Amino acid sequence: MPKHVALTMGGQLDHARASNMTIEEVFKRMFSKINWLIDLQINNNIPIVTVYVLTSKVKDSPHFSLIMDKMIEFFENLKNNSRIYENKMKVSVLGKWYDLPGRAIEPLKAMIDETRDYDSFFLNLCINYDGKDEIVDACKIIGRRIAAGKIDADTIDKEAIKDNIYSSYFLPPDLLIKTGMDKKLGGFLLWDTTDSHVCFSGRTWLRFNEADFERAVDEWRRG
């Protein structure tokens, strides 16, 4: 099994149209399916899973308030998932999640705090995330250190960038699975995926299943 798998959660609106499901139900299922992914990660003994949950463009969505409601509901229920605690799974949130409405921040922060000392499995949820912003923010941190005289500009290398991106503590993904019907990665883990195997599943997130996952892993194994 790969040590780090990254996935997108794409195709919600396509799924709603194809299944005659309400937008509210689609977004509720979109978040709740993360519990299925937690089981998949543990059962397959994958140390790191990173999920592209919400892009930074979510604030422009006409469904933004509904999405926030369903996300809050999910995180409030996530603390009841016993497998997280039994398997010492650390849940991290990558991106500018702290810029979301105040009502959305507390349940995210609570989950981060409750699992911060765990180190057997790592689940990274990218929320209000943009891959270019991740690199820009890393450059700002490095720039401040140069301005403060703590480091020399000539010492900056690829490792220095990696040390300052959101996912600095994690190995780059071995496998990136793109769900949804389009074939755009949207800047997901832009710095870390240069050598990742990318699998376009051709399935919406809500239709993506264990057999699809196994096919993606087999494709990664074949190189």
pLDDT tens digits for 70-126?
999 999 999 999 999 999 999 999 999 999 999 999 999 999 999 999 999 999 999
Q: How far apart are CA 122 and CA 103, in angstroms?
A: 25
Q: Is 30 part of any domain?
A: yes
Residue pLDDT, tens place only, 33-81: 999 999 999 999 999 999 999 999 999 999 999 999 999 999 999 999 9
Q: Is 149 part of any domain?
A: no
Residue 14: pLDDT band with limits 50, 70, 90: confident
Which residue has 């949950």 as its token pair? 53
CATH number for the domain that contains residue 107:
3.40.1180.10
Burial class (CB in 10 A: 0-12, 13-18, 19+), 83: middle
Q: Is 35 part of any domain?
A: yes
223: pLDDT strictly greater than 90: no
Q: How far apart are CA 216 and CA 176, in angstroms?
A: 9
Identify the pLDDT of residue 49. 98
Q: Is 164 part of any domain?
A: no
- Domain containing 205 equals 4-130+172-222
Identify the pLDDT of residue 194. 94
Lowest mean pLDDT among 15-19, 40-44, 210-214: 15-19
Q: How far apart are CA 130 and CA 112, in angstroms?
A: 20
Which residue has 């699809």 as its token pair? 212
Please give the tally of structural domains in the chain. Answer: 1
Residue 25: pLDDT band with limits 50, 70, 90: very high
13: pLDDT strictly greater than 90: no
Q: What is the mean pLDDT of residues 199-223?
A: 96
Share of the chain above pLDDT 90, in %: 92
Q: How far apart are CA 171 and CA 186, in angstroms?
A: 20
17: pLDDT strictly greater than 90: no
Share of the chain above pLDDT 70, in %: 100
Q: What is the mean pLDDT of residues 136-149?
A: 96
Identify the pLDDT of residue 20. 85
Q: Is 142 part of any domain?
A: no
Residue pLDDT, tens place only, 174-189: 999 999 988 999 999 9
Tell me if 51 sits within 8 A of 93, measured CB to CB: no
Q: Is 203 part of any domain?
A: yes
Q: Is 146 part of any domain?
A: no
Identify the pLDDT of residue 47. 98
Q: Is 39 part of any domain?
A: yes
16: pLDDT strictly greater than 90: no
